[in-house]
Structure 1
Amino acid sequence: MHKELNDYKELLKEANFKVTKKRLRMIELFMQDERYLSAKEIQTMMSNEYPGISYDTIYRNLHTLNDINVLEKTSFGGEMQYKISCTDHHHHHFICERCGEIQVISYCPVAKWEEELSGVKINSHKIELYGLCENCA
């Protein structure tokens, strides 16, 4: 389960960022769309409400929201893609390379891998599987 919009407002304040209508609208778009989105897609989604909003403004805000853990990012299709951060439980993702749909993978193989890698301690990880979803295949 994701946070509420007010929780994201507090995260912005705690990180000393202004709580702007554009930032909040961007967060709302990610809250409504359970998939990875590119900066270009966000710009298109916001252009009706904010005509002339620049790609640079979108990209800077995506970077800021990623830095304070509102968004998480990955790279596929030759560009950075973003989605609202998952904070409720540990899991991984299958990501459709065409439409950006996400499917949750609850199993985590890292403990097994750590056993196989003699003498190592894994401190963090991120596992993503890429391919085509059922609709795009």
Structure 2
Amino acid sequence: MNIEKAWDILKKEGFKKTDKREQILKIFSETTKYITARDILNVMMEEHPGMSYDTIYRNLSTFVELGILEETELTGEKHFRMHCEMDHHHHHFICMRCGNIKEINFCPMEVIQNSIPGYQIENHKFEIYGNCPECH
């Protein structure tokens, strides 16, 4: 997702454009990796010394709710990244060392659905964690 599309979504939902939100979105637009609220805070403290972790986390949560960011949990902490704009359903391999992401163009849900007949799956999240070839 690009920043312009993110602002369209935010404006449509009644959120004002602020320097802090703009900087958060810029940070995400410059990487494909998952990053933490603490990573964002460390960058933003240079320009906004009084910036709080809660403010960052509230904005990140809003961005997730609106579909601007994706979130995952790595090593017991939430990590975020700009929402994929792929036009097809897919999943990701996430490197635990460097954070690089590899798209997986296969979804195991059909196999899983067939193994639990009668159950209605409403949503799913499937991620694989490990080390990429560069980190192995």
Calculate the TM-score normalised by the size of structure 1. 0.89
Residue 94 of structure 1 aligns to a residue whose secondary structure is strand
Alignment of 1:1-137 (within 5 A): 2=1, 4-88=2-86, 89-137=88-136
Offset from partner CA, 1:7-53 (integer Å, 9 cap, x none):
11111112222221211221121111101000111112222233332
> Which structure 1 residue ranges, 5 or more long, are not aligned?
none
Residue 124 of structure 1 aligns to a residue whose secondary structure is coil
Aligned length, in residue pairs: 135
Aligned-residue Cα RMSD (Å) equals: 1.5
CA–CA distance in 2 between the matches of 1:44 and 1:124? 34
CA–CA distance in 1 between the matches of 2:110 and 2:49? 49
CA–CA distance in 2 between the matches of 1:13 and 1:72? 19
Calculate the TM-score normalised by the size of structure 2. 0.89
CA drift at 1:120: 2.4
Residue 84 of structure 2 aligns to a residue whose secondary structure is coil
The AA in structure 1 aligned to 2:120 is: K
Residue 39 of structure 2 aligns to a residue whose secondary structure is helix
CA–CA distance in 1 between the matches of 2:5 and 2:34? 21
CA drift at 1:123: 2.2
